[in-house]
Chain A
Amino acid sequence: MTKNILLTAIATSLLMAALPAAADPAHRAQAVAVIKKDFQPRGQASLDRLAEDGLQAVCNRTGNKPPEYIAKGLEGDQLAGVKYPADGKLMGDWKSGERLAQSGRGFTWTDDPGLPVGGNCYNCHQIAPKELSYGTVGPSLFHFGKLRGNTLEMQKYVYSKIYNAKAYNLCSEMPRFGHVGALNEKQIKDLVALLLDPESPVNK
């Protein structure tokens, strides 16, 4: 899942050396050792998921607050890795986007790896006003397009944010849906439409 690591191993280790030491390196090291020792694979959740990729390592070692000069550079790397649709169209079908936003399935050891992964959006965000059961880990996205318009620039921002939220905030809590292959191009387009299409209930 995390094969497309943008940082090479060498770059990572150099970077780690440059980082301020973790608050409690000894216990952190023990925690990592316990995690490696005491987990077992189940379903699609294999043990390689326990390894940090470069970005995770930076965030883990800095309590999710990397020094700005490091964060900026790495965010740029993440943004550079976003693959935009070849046809240049960034907005799909908001109705499909709404269905996708509702689904919280995917990647857990009880999920069938053959089934599509959901967008998980309502878990953390308020989106269309009709859905009352929404989470608040992320900001409300109600009226997202109404407030911001749907210029090509805005479409590009939303597409890239869903593709890789870490391009804008290195240690964001939001997953990198496109980067890790959870959502494909069409799905991300549909979510862009959900947020930006004037016909979407989000913007009514």
Chain B
Amino acid sequence: MNTTRRTVLKGATASGVLAGLIATGALRPTQVLAAEWNKAAFESKDATAALKGIGAAAATESKDLVIKVPDIAENGAVVPVDVTSNIPNTSSIVIMVVRNPFPLSAQFDFANGALPEVSARLKLNETSMVRALAKADGKFYSVQKEVKVTVGGCGG
């Protein structure tokens, strides 16, 4: 955690985020501190690089990781994604949209009683695999499902 955090902070400084954090007082220890942003991974342009960026290059497929997405998205701008991990000791869930310009969409680290489960809504640029990863005991597991994005009509 500490090494990653330091690396990330360095990246953040470059983009001015850290300065912003300090200026706004977000780094004061009394506040709920949001995680620092893994710039390298989030700015990776392909899924392989993004996986490497979060240390999940060697993820194995797992049926104990459940992803719920529509087969066909009603609108690619808002695609509901639910991920539940039944893998013991899951500490993080990561969501990627493989064919998006920047595949990595979100990472959630859980603690203090949080269940390894999250629902979110993502933009899909086109028909794509949506991949979920879970980190448990230092190892990564993955599952993926395709979501089709189609042309829209009037929209109610």
Contact = CB atoms under 8 A, between A and B. Distances in A.
Q: Do chains A and B touch in the complex (CB under 8 A)?
A: yes
Interface of A: 102, 122-123, 132-133, 135
B123 to A, nearest CB: 19
A132 B150 contact: yes
Contacts of B151: 102, 122, 133
Nearest to B72: A132
Nearest to B150: A133
B16 interface: no
A1 B133 CA distance: 56
A132 B152 CA distance: 11
Report the interface size class on chain B.
under 10
Contacts of A132: 72, 148, 150
7 A-B pairs with the lowest CB-CB distances in the bound complex, closest first? A133-B150, A133-B151, A132-B150, A135-B153, A123-B153, A133-B153, A102-B151
A36 to B, nearest CB: 26
A135 B154 CA distance: 11
Given A123-B153, A133-B150, A133-B153, 6 more contacts: A102-B151, A122-B151, A132-B72, A132-B148, A132-B150, A133-B151
Contacts of A123: 153
A203 to B, nearest CB: 23
Question: Interface on chain B toward A: helix, strand, loop, or mixed SS?
Answer: loop
Contacts of A102: 151
A132 B150 CA distance: 8
Contacts of B72: 132
11 contacts: A102-B151, A122-B151, A123-B153, A132-B72, A132-B148, A132-B150, A133-B150, A133-B151, A133-B152, A133-B153, A135-B153
Nearest to A123: B153
Contacts of A122: 151
Contacts of A135: 153
Nearest to B148: A132
A29 to B, nearest CB: 30
Contacts of B152: 133
A102 B150 CA distance: 12
A133 B155 CA distance: 13
A133 B152 CA distance: 8
A133 B153 CA distance: 8
